[in-house]
Structure 1
């Protein structure tokens, strides 16, 4: 007997729920281990329990109160880089993408091809030596400002291509109507393009805010002074010290990284959903 449409639909829904459950286990189980490890007494990862008998907050307290902890300095450095990188990326990307989307100039086509090519190859990885020499030349090696400069420049190809594609979906008739009313390019960009591009700009802001918290390799090459470390680089020392390792403090410090990222996500989510809804109703 042939399977009815209703039965087939139930099976498909069951597989969808099964997929979500598996993904929750894959993502949630390591996260739960990290949380529980952070409240385990001691320092060794091999003797920690998933559900500790005597949970403690001593590792969190140590991070913020111990004279031997530079965690607050690393947190401050990461926040400074993340906030400026997020704002700077949105400004640079929105302007560059607008130029490639709305202007016609010599080299535009090959510029877009170059952006696409740079996305296909790890150009930043291949240019580490050149970037280090550049920072040494301008006096920004071992500085969070030099690291910020690399982040701002390295994000341009991918983000500009991404935002340019979104700008292309905004009807040019809006530009033409504004020009008839006497608006210039800057006014069109500010009053028309930016409000309609809130969803994609929110994505750019969020991704570039997250990057400095997650990146380890670039700060390791650029930064040498512990007072300039970012969180990823600083926390690595907890488990890479040749004399002692402290996985529980590492877990506690890692859990706290999620707080600013979650706050920024909640803040930008309103703009993302609002922009999508406005676009749908005005279409």
Structure 2
């Protein structure tokens, strides 16, 4: 009995130590960037993590010397629009593959799964040529279309969730004369709060933080997103505005952090509400 208790204590102690180490590795870089945004000068190097003197000038310089507000608005517009369209497309794809039975269904799911395994940058050249032929280069519409169209590749989570919804609810609605779209929007979606939250969060975060594709398509200064603008700020070899870059990173992380906190609360509420209904 004493041996089992000692083994349990050892496992718990090891778990706490491992979690503490992981937390340090995760928090320390973020804390360094946050403190660097308040550090005077333009260098990120410092012997201590806490600045010897604090300044807010880097935050004001972002808006005074750089079109940071334009980058922010562009990024929010692209991310929010991509989130709405991508979430709708992903949910519709998952619902169709979960409910309908048609010829080639399994082959289609296999193809989508395989395509989702490949990195997105492998198709950059083909997408660039296609957008060029459609005269959509250097437009936010091009970025939104690609982000939203790529979201359904990760349909498996949505399909798996829809598979858990009782078929009796759908069949009862069909007996009452409801079509597939009323069933989807009035019955299935109200029961899918955790799925909607997860899909929306992942789609928004992916569009908000993407750099590679936005850098490839968006060229004009007034079209840049936060990732592209911040990179160009320090991309030149003669640039040394690293503390201003740190301030931009802090401001860029604010909406993602707020959205995650809010959606995490809704996710917990949705899970507990489903458990109460049994």
- Aligned equivalent of 1:246, options 218, 241, 263: 241
Moved more, 29-38 or 165-174: 165-174
Residue equivalent to 2:22: 23
Q: Partner residue of 2:206?
A: 211
Per the TM alignment, residue 5 of structure 1 is displaced from its structure 2 partner at its CA by 2.4
For residues 152 and 232 of structure 1, the distance between their equivalents in structure 2, rounded to whole angstroms, comes to 18
| Maintained 8 Å contact 2:78/2:208 | no
1:273 aligns with 268
CA deviations over 1:29-55 (Å, ceiling 9, x no partner): 101110111111111223574211111
What is the rounded CA distance, in whole Å, between the counterparts of 2:277 and 2:260 in structure 1? 25
| Residue pairs, 1:27-106, within 5 angstroms | 27-47=26-46, 49-64=48-63, 66=64, 68-106=65-103
Does the 8 Å contact 1:37/1:49 carry over to 2? no
Taking structure 2 as the reference length, the TM-score comes to 0.95
Q: Deviations over 1:116-149 (max 9, x none)?
A: 1112222x32211111111112221011111111
Q: Does 1:192 align with 2:187?
A: yes
Residues in 2 aligned to 1:48 and 1:57: alpha-carbon distance in whole angstroms: 20
Report the equivalent of 1:170: 165
Gaps of 5+ in 1: none
Residue-by-residue CA offset, 1:216-250 (whole Å, 9 max, x unaligned): 11111111111111111110122212332211011
TM norm structure 1? 0.93
RMSD: 1.5
Tell me how far apart the structure 2 counterparts of residues 44 and 250 of structure 1 sit (CA, whole Å). 10
Contact 2:79-2:204 at 8 Å conserved across structures: yes
The correspondence for 1:233, drawn from 215, 228, 231, is 228
SS in 2 for 1:46: coil
Paired residues of 1:74 and 1:228 also in contact (CA < 8 A): yes
Moved over 3 A (4+): none
Matched with 1:146 is: 142
Please report how far the alpha carbon of residue 193 of structure 1 lies from its aligned counterpart in structure 2 after TM superposition.
1.0
1:130 aligns with 2:126: yes
